[in-house]
Structures are given as C-alpha cells and as structure tokens.
C-alpha cells in the first residue's frame, strides 16, 4: 500500500467542502482524498460534473462541466502549472437509465469516471473499474493529479504538455461509450516560462468522422456579426497568439491539418523555440491516432493574413463526411474578412 496522507485544505473555505455532496458526513466532508506522500498538498480544488446533453443524430451525448449548466463537448479545459497538485471532484449527474442504455459490457458498473493522461496519480485516481475509482449516479469522488516539475539536475523531464482527460467506465471497462458520448476534455500542463495564449481552442477527432462530437456544419457556429469564441466558433484577430489542443478519440487514425499556418513539431509548437530550422520539423499536418494528443501555439494570420482558414482531418473520406471546421481570423482591429459567410458554394461537408 502506498503511504498516503490527508490533504490539507488551505484557504478553500466552506463552499467547496459543502459541494463535496450530501453523501459526505461530518469531518469526512472536510477531508480531501488521500494524497500520495510523494505529492505536495493540493493547492486547488476543481468541481467537475458529468451531465446528459441533448442527443445528436440520435446518439446519446454526455459532457463534463465546471457546473451542470455549463457542461459541454469537449469538457472544460483544465490547466495546471508544473509543480502543482490539484483535486478534481467529479459529480455524476448521469442517470442509471442512460448509463444502462450505453452499456455493452454487462460486467461494467453503471457509473462515470475521470482518467487523465500525462500527470501523476495513484490507483485511487486512475478512474477505472478494476481500481474501483469510478462514480455511481448521484455520487461524487475526488481525484488527485500532480504535475511533477522538471529538474534538470535530477534528470526529471517534467510533466508540461498537451494532455487530455476522459471517462474510462461508460459502456465498457474502457469507457468506449463514454468517449463516443462526449466525456473528454483537454488538460494543459504549462512550464512557468511558457508563453500564454490569448485563447485556447480544443479539437477532438472521433469515430463517425466527428470533430468535437459533431459533423460540419454543426462543427462551426461562427457568426461574423457576433463572433463569440468557443470550440465551435474558432475566432482570432490577426497577430493574436492562439493555442490549439488536439485529441484523437475512438478507434480511427486521423491527420490534423490547418490552412494558412505552420508550427514546430515539438512540445509547445512555438516556432520561436526552434533553435535552428533543421533541428525540429516545421509542419502544418500531423497524424494523430487514438489516445494521442498534441498542441501548439500560432500567431493568427501571421504572413497569411485574415481569412476563413480551413481546419480539417486530411484523411479525405473523413473530411468529405464532415470532419471540418474553420479558423476565422479577423483583421487586427477585429473586423471579419470581407464577403459573405458561409460562402455560397459551401456544401455540407465542404
């Protein structure tokens, strides 16, 4: 048994403790999950709700949200700095009926979970059936993640990277139906010296030729008259630093392609980090297989200017079936590109 200690909740107040749920009793409610002894005390606690969303194409949809009302697909992007240890309290608000309808393996319990890539956690935070770290309907569970910092003297490379988190329980013991339904999101671990973007967008490629669990035109809700920024409305002003985090779900291979922009095939994607042009490949297309995630930062419209820049899977059959959206780069004053949008010849799958 790994030695653990109770987390010390510093400055968290009564609110987050109360939000642990009615199932927690007295002093237990005020104590966090067991934290491995090699981890620092958690400095933050995040609430995460798994919630049913409207069906899409007669398929059940479930999303994670910081609140039940804000649940979305992908779920909220969780950001950490190297050196941080955080708690995530997962609340399962998905009905047993829905979980039963999605279940294809009768041995799998009716629940949801939270499984992370990249960060450190122990078995109690693995989010799997065999480790009994899942959450039944109406219940909550606290997961602990640690972003171990780099330490060159000790040969520790650190945790910084573009990772993701997802369910590992819904449908089968691998969360196959949970992933298909929408239980996933991006996890970014930053090094303290990393540049911060003006905005981060997440694209998740999934089976059924879906991008963020949708097919074009549902992948792109952009309105030039009201250019809100969201994962279905990828908007930037020319010159802004924009970050993309890209995830592959399911069982299909994809290639992730963005028009009008290039990035370095390294941890950050930042071209300025490339010490010399021959040391790291500069790319505009990247193969991404199930379970993979990568990210990068670009300067919107750098050299290429404003425009409705296509973003799609470059597997031709996938893009033809709707694995497409657009990166809408306005001018430096925030004015949308001239002309009609969507264009008159835009077909359903472009």
Residues that bind Cu ion (CB under 5 A): 254, 313, 315, 318
Nearest approach in angstroms of CB 21 to Cu ion is: 39
Nearest approach in angstroms of CB 214 to Cu ion is: 14
SS3 102: helix
User: In this complex, which beta carbon is closest to Cu ion, that of residue 17 or of residue 253?
Assistant: 253
Nearest approach in angstroms of CB 278 to Cu ion is: 30
Q: Give the angle 349-186-326 at the CA atoms, nearest 5°.
A: 25
User: In this complex, which beta carbon is closest to Cu ion, that of residue 284 or of residue 302?
Assistant: 284
User: In this complex, which beta carbon is closest to Cu ion, that of residue 62 or of residue 315?
Assistant: 315
User: In this complex, which beta carbon is closest to Cu ion, that of residue 254 or of residue 330?
Assistant: 254
User: In this complex, which beta carbon is closest to Cu ion, that of residue 125 or of residue 325?
Assistant: 325
- Take residue 179 and report the two structure tokens written for it: 């992933």
Judging by DSSP bridges, how do beta strands 44-56 and 85-92 pair with one another? Answer: parallel
| Closest C-alpha to 255, from 294, 219, 216 | 294
User: In this complex, which beta carbon is closest to Cu ion, that of residue 94 or of residue 313?
Assistant: 313
The dihedrals phi and psi of 103, each to the nearest 5 degrees, come to -80, 125
User: In this complex, which beta carbon is closest to Cu ion, that of residue 78 or of residue 288?
Assistant: 288
User: In this complex, which beta carbon is closest to Cu ion, that of residue 242 or of residue 313?
Assistant: 313
Nearest approach in angstroms of CB 320 to Cu ion is: 10
DSSP code at position 38: T
Cβ neighbour number for residue 342 with a 10 Å cutoff: 14
Nearest approach in angstroms of CB 308 to Cu ion is: 21
Cβ neighbour number for residue 38 with a 10 Å cutoff: 12
Cβ neighbour number for residue 195 with a 10 Å cutoff: 12
| Closest C-alpha to 142, from 189, 91, 93 | 91
Task: Tally the C-alpha atoms within 13 A of residue 36's C-alpha that lie toward its C-beta.
Answer: 18
β-partners of residue 217 are: none
Could you tell me if residue 175 is left (phi over 0), alpha (psi between -120 and 50 degrees) or otherwise beta?
A: left
Provide the strand spans (E) within 72-198: 78-81, 85-92, 115-116, 140-146, 161-166, 184-190
Nearest approach in angstroms of CB 289 to Cu ion is: 10
Nearest approach in angstroms of CB 341 to Cu ion is: 25
Q: Is 26 exposed, middle or buried (0-12, 13-18, 19+ CB in 10 A)?
A: exposed
User: In this complex, which beta carbon is closest to Cu ion, that of residue 50 or of residue 315?
Assistant: 315
Taking the C-alpha atoms of residue 255 and residue 205, their distance in angstroms, rounded to an integer, is 9
User: In this complex, which beta carbon is closest to Cu ion, that of residue 109 or of residue 250?
Assistant: 250
Nearest approach in angstroms of CB 304 to Cu ion is: 24
Torsion, Cα of 260, 266, 271, 277 (10° steps): -100
Taking the C-alpha atoms of residue 49 and residue 47, their distance in angstroms, rounded to an integer, is 7
Nearest approach in angstroms of CB 317 to Cu ion is: 8
The dihedrals phi and psi of 16, each to the nearest 5 degrees, come to -60, -35
- Take residue 32 and report the two structure tokens written for it: 């966090």
Nearest approach in angstroms of CB 346 to Cu ion is: 20
């Amino acid at each position: 048994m790994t030695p653990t200690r109770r987390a010390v909740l510093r400055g968290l107040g009564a609110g987050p403790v109360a939000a642990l749920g009615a199932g927690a009793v007295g002093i237990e409610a005020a104590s966090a999950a067991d934290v491995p002894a090699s981890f620092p005390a958690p400095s933050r606690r995040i609430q995460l709700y798994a919630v049913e969303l409207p069906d899409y194409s007669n398929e059940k949809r479930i999303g994670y949200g910081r609140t039940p009302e804000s649940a979305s697909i992908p779920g909220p992007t969780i950001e950490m700095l190297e050196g941080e240890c955080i708690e995530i309290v997962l609340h399962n608000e998905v009905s047993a009926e829905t979980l039963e309808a999605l279940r294809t393996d009768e041995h799998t319990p009716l629940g949801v979970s939270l499984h992370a890539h990249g960060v450190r956690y122990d078995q109690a935070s693995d989010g799997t059936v065999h480790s009994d770290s899942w959450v039944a309907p109406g219940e909550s569970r606290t997961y602990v993640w640690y972003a171990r910092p780099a330490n060159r003297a000790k040969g520790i490379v650190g945790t910084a990277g573009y990772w993701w988190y997802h369910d590992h329980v819904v449908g089968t013991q691998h969360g196959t139906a949970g992933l298909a339904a929408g239980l996933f999101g991006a996890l970014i671990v930053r090094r303290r010296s990393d540049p911060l973007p003006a905005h981060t967008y997440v694209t998740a490629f999934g089976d059924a030729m879906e991008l963020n669990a949708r097919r074009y035109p549902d992948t792109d809700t952009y309105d030039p008259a009201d250019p809100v920024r969201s994962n279905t409305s990828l908007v930037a002003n020319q010159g802004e630093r924009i970050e993309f985090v890209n995830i592959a779900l399911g069982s299909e291979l994809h290639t992730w392609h963005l028009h009008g922009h290039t990035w370095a095939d390294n941890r950050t994607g930042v071209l300025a980090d490339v010490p010399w042009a021959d040391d790291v490949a500069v790319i505009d297309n990247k193969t991404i297989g199930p379970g993979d995630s990568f990210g990068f930062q670009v300067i919107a419209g750098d050299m290429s200017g404003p425009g409705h820049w296509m973003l799609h899977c470059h597997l031709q059959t996938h893009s033809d079936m709707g694995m497409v959206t657009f990166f809408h780069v306005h001018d430096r004053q925030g004015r949308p590109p001239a002309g009609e949008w969507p264009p008159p010849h835009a077909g359903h799958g472009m």
